[in-house]
Chain A
Amino acid sequence: MTPVHAPALSETSATLSLLFVVLIPCAAAGLALINAGLGRFRNASHSMLSALCVIAVAAAVYFAIGAAWQGSVGQPAFAVHVAGQDWNWIGAGRFFLRGLELGGWSSLATLFGLMSVGIAAIIPLGGGADRWRLGASCASTVLLAGWTYPLFAHWAWGGGWLAQQGFIDSGGAGVIQVVGGLTALSITWILGPRRGKFNPDGMPSALPGHNAVYVLLGCFLAWLGWLGLDGAGAILFTGAEASRVVLIAVNTTLAAGLGALAVAAITRARFGKTDASLCANGWVAGLVAVSAGCAVVRPAAAVIIGLVAGALVVYSVEWLELHLAVDDPGGSVSVHAVAGLWGLLAAGLLAAVAPGDAPGVLLAQLAGIATLLGCILPLTYGLNWLLNRVMPQRVAVEGERQGLDLYELGAGAYPDFMTHNEDFWQR
């Protein structure tokens, strides 16, 4: 295995990466708006508050233990010696960020981690929308920020065994998006579908989101945030020069745009009308997919990545709902897990590397995908399943009928609106 070294940051690169890192909260705001808009109006306030709370919990837990487990390149780590190779498997840093060296690469990577763990924590809220208790989502975030996220982040970004293989994940398609998306899948399985979602014959009913404007505004904010995620991640974790920042921004924008266009074309051709919420999902799917290889693919490759991500979202949303009975109101599984896995594969297939290095890069990407599916999914499902045994995660029937805003917060987001109860009539 190849030892991993921290990139030497020039003053320009360090300044740029700091500027990019402070854009990341825009991605969180965008995802929170998308989740709120795709949920029902009686849960809107709860959805936004849940996003704030899970970011707060994620930051606190990451500060306490997550950053120590994640570690960073060149810092102490636990390694096992197998078959003549050192397998660096988890960080051995100090808890509560003690020993953090200010001013260097390590402190910027820690700040990036603190921001991005919040993004990963917001993603499952889309899967559990309209039925996930606030306390339970915070407890689940403790598991995500304290164990699941730091483990894979160490392997990919902290000099762990995947990084030693040459795994490429510049902006966190795997570390942030797929980890969050697989947690969303686990949550949808554990919570089960919303009441009234499936008819007695097993066919899904349409429960449209309550505010398409929030969803589309969220896309604009997510675009800005992703420029930060991809730019900072590429500089910090793939050693991209400051001169590549323009390429990263071009790739990010192209993939997002082509993802949305692909969805618009497919929905227009199939249903006769363009679906606004699916187009928004296509936009974010393009952002997610290009995150992996944003610093190493050419713009033409970013176009392909965005187009495929958009097409995947349309068919994945339909397949999950119609054939697999997964009720994912925010589309988190399709947008973050499926598109993220495609992005990791695409980085291996389309990265502009020397021909001799291409098979090694593809192998590392396949190993990363296998790790996410074979290790992270069982781990996050198991942890959340155990949590559900001691602290039921789904809200009571009365809470779902009344709406989480009134039931858990005591006040609705839109007090002038009337409540319609036809969602709960027997069909």
Chain B
Amino acid sequence: MKLTGFLLLAGGWIIVLAAIALLPSGPSQVTFVLVALGVEALGLTLVFRAHLIPSRDRR
């Protein structure tokens, strides 16, 4: 789950780079960047959840 989370984080960033490089300035570019941030939010959630279980086990 942790690796998937980090891959989603990196994937979101790559979508941002692709949007800036390939799309013309305008609503489509902003939409792609917002979608990428959504992907990153999903990745961050997974990474947090992956760390939740071990840290409670280590109490």
> Which A residues are closer than 8 A to B by beta carbons?
82-83, 85, 87, 165, 189, 192-193, 195-200, 202, 324-327, 359-360, 362-363, 366-367, 369-371, 373-375, 377-378, 381-382
CA distance A192 to B51 in the complex (A): 9
Which of A87, A192, A367 makes the CB contact (< 8 A) with B33? Answer: A367
Listed by A's residue number, 26 A-B pairs whose Cβ atoms lie within 8 Å are A87-B21, A165-B20, A189-B55, A193-B55, A193-B58, A198-B56, A198-B59, A324-B48, A324-B51, A327-B55, A359-B30, A363-B25, A363-B29, A366-B33, A367-B16, A370-B13, A370-B16, A370-B37, A371-B16, A374-B11, A374-B13, A374-B14, A374-B36, A374-B40, A377-B44, A378-B10
> Inside 8 A of A196's CB, which chain B residues have their CB?
59
Residues 25-59 of B, flagged 1 when their CB comes within 8 A of A and 0 if not, give: 10001100110110010011000100110111011
Contact A363-B33, Cβ < 8 Å, known A373-B9, A373-B40, A374-B10: yes
Chain B stretch 1-18: residues in CB contact (< 8 A) with chain A = 6, 9-14, 16
Contact B21 A82 (CB under 8 A): yes
Contact A369-B37, Cβ < 8 Å, known A359-B30, A363-B30, A381-B6: yes
Contact residues of B: prevailing secondary structure: helix
Which of B21, B22, B25, B55 makes the CB contact (< 8 A) with A198? Answer: B55
> Inside 8 A of B11's CB, which chain A residues have their CB?
374
Contact A324 B10 (CB under 8 A): no
Contact A374 B55 (CB under 8 A): no
> Inside 8 A of A200's CB, which chain B residues have their CB?
59
> Inside 8 A of B25's CB, which chain A residues have their CB?
359-360, 363
